[in-house]
């Protein structure tokens, strides 16, 4: 919960010593000497319970973003607004990190050097890196092995905090997985395949309107014959044997999802043995016939239950962690110093 009395709260715990030292160095004490013009004076930008975030920490995290924004060539006013937005986001992230670090200490969570080094070894193996290659890669990023170990330790500590504070309290039952399975049949029934034939007339690239209309008329006559009860196969065989402007083809079996949206709509509700109306396509006028439908190989619940439980668990972790962090923010003293 934000409070206005910054210095009164800050003087509690270890922060009092920090502020006293700051005063001695001329940062908060009005009677101190002016700092050298070439010396950058640090200052507090946020107070998080008994911890502080200083300007140099913020600037270090902000610099890669400001450098990137500066290269984008935006007008000065827009660049200023973008940097301000990024700065606010980074401060918020740093505050959350301070809060989680405090909770790590509260729970007494410790990651020793051996665990950190094992993690680094796994990273090297996963990326097929030698020690020299890893060191060179770190140097390119402006990092050292010490900074890498520090970053990994912080990530591991926070991950373990999530396990203690959030994950250990979440239970996803088989009944939960079954309810999800039953309510999301489209995810597990498999994709059907359709075996299609067609009858079509080609459209010349620079056809006159009369040629286009003539093709349409011929295809309309095919529809009339189909409506009168003639089989698609019989008409197709006739067209294949002849040398007229209409052609017929067995165009093969396709997964339904790879068909064009227009064709999916046209054949979506058709059963095997049924045909579409007249469709005008880039290749000319066409009638499609559904020769066969192959149902997708759906999955059984027992096959996917572990996968569903993992998915639901991950969703619960995300939502509950955010709720836990919001609650932590509300109970904490957080002051952003503008």
338 lies in a domain? no
We report the CATH number of the domain holding residue 224 as 3.10.50.40
pLDDT at residue 268 in the model: 86
Distance CA 168, CA 119 (A): 23
Q: Is 20 in the same domain as 58?
A: yes
Q: Are 192 and 256 in contact (CB under 8 A)?
A: yes
Q: Is 148 in the same domain as 177?
A: no
333 lies in a domain? no
Q: What is the model's pTM? A: 0.51
Q: Is 146 in the same domain as 11?
A: no
Q: Is 270 in the same domain as 309?
A: no
Tens-digit pLDDT profile for residues 234-263: 998 888 777 677 888 899 998 887 888 889
Is it the case that residue 5 has pLDDT exceeding 70? no
* Secondary structure, 3-state, the chain: CCCCCHHHHHCCCCHHHHHHHHHHCCCCCCCCCCCCCCCCCCCEEEEECCEEEEHHHHHHHHHHHHHHHHCCCCCHHHHHHHHHHHHHHHHHHHHHHHHHHHHHHHHCCCCCHHHHHHHHHHHHHHCCCCHHHHHHHHHHCCCCHHHHHHHHHHHHHHHHHHHHHCHHHCCCCHHHHHHHHHHCHHHCCCCCEEEEEEEEEECCCCCCHHHHHHHHHHHHHHHHHHHCCCCHHHHHHHHHHCCCCEEEEEEEEEEHHHCCHHHHHHHCCCCCCCECCCEEECCEEEEEEEEEEECCCCCCHHHHHHHHHHHHHHHHHHHHHHHHHHHHHHHCCEEECC
For the chain, the average pLDDT equals 83
Q: How long a stretch of residues is the chain?
A: 338
Residues 29, 30, 34, 37, Cα dihedral to 10°: 80
Q: Are 293 and 194 in contact (CB under 8 A)?
A: yes
Q: Is 233 in the same domain as 254?
A: yes
Number of domains, the chain: 4
Contacts 24+ apart (CB under 8 A), 158-164: 158/97, 158/100, 158/104, 160/104, 160/109, 160/111, 161/100, 161/103, 161/104, 161/107, 161/109, 162/317, 162/321, 164/107, 164/109
pLDDT at residue 289 in the model: 94
Q: Is 91 in the same domain as 150?
A: no
Q: Is 199 in the same domain as 280?
A: yes
> Residue 276: pLDDT band by 50, 70, 90 thresholds?
very high
Tens-digit pLDDT profile for residues 50-74: 999 999 999 989 998 998 898 888 8
Q: Is 45 in the same domain as 68?
A: yes
Q: Is 7 in the same domain as 93?
A: yes
202 lies in a domain? yes
302-328: burial string, b at 16+ Cβ within 10 Å, e else: eebbeebbeebbeebeeebbeebbeeb
Which residues form the domain of 24?
1-105
Q: Report the Cα 184 to chain-centroid distance in Å.
A: 21
Q: Is 182 in the same domain as 309?
A: yes
Q: Are 270 and 197 in contact (CB under 8 A)?
A: no
Is it the case that residue 215 has pLDDT exceeding 60? yes
Tens-digit pLDDT profile for residues 118-176: 999 998 998 888 999 999 888 888 788 898 999 899 889 988 998 998 888 899 999 99
229 lies in a domain? yes
Is it the case that residue 212 has pLDDT exceeding 70? yes
117 lies in a domain? yes
Q: Are 92 and 53 in contact (CB under 8 A)?
A: no
Q: Is 216 in the same domain as 178?
A: no
């Amino acid at each position: 919960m934000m409070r206005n009395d910054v210095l009164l709260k800050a003087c509690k715990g270890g922060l009092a010593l920090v502020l006293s030292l700051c005063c001695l160095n001329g940062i908060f004490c009005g009677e101190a000497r002016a700092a050298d013009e070439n010396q950058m004076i640090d200052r507090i930008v946020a107070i998080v319970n008994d911890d502080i975030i200083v300007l140099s920490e913020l600037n270090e995290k902000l610099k890669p973003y400001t450098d990137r924004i500066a290269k984008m060539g935006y007008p000065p006013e827009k660049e200023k607004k973008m940097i301000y937005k990024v700065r606010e986001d980074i401060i918020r992230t740093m505050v959350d990190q301070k809060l989680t670090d405090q909770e790590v200490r509260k729970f007494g969570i410790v990651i020793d050097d051996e665990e950190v080094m094992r993690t680094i070894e796994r990273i090297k193996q996963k990326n097929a890196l030698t020690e020299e290659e890893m060191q060179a890669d770190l140097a390119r990023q402006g990092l050292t092995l010490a900074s890498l170990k520090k970053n990994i330790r912080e990530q591991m500590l926070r991950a373990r905090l999530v396990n203690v504070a959030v994950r250990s309290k979440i239970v996803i039952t088989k009944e939960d997985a079954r309810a999800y399975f039953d309510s999301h049949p489209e995810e597990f029934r498999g994709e059907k395949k359709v075996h299609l034939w067609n009858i079509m007339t080609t459209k010349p690239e620079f056809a006159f309107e009369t040629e286009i209309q003539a093709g349409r008329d011929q295809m309309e006559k095919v529809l009339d014959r189909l409506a009168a009860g003639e089989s698609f196969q019989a008409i197709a065989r006739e067209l294949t044997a002849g040398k007229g402007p209409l052609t017929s083809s067995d165009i093969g079996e396709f997964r339904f999802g790879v068909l064009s949206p227009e064709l999916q709509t046209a054949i979506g509700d058709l059963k095997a043995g049924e045909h579409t109306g007249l469709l005008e396509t880039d290749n000319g006028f066409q009638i499609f016939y559904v020769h066969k439908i192959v149902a997708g190989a759906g999955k059984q619940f027992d096959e996917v239950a572990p996968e569903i439980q993992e998915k639901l668990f991950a969703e619960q972790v995300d939502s509950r962690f955010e709720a836990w962090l919001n609650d932590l923010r509300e109970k904490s003293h957080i002051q952003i110093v503008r």
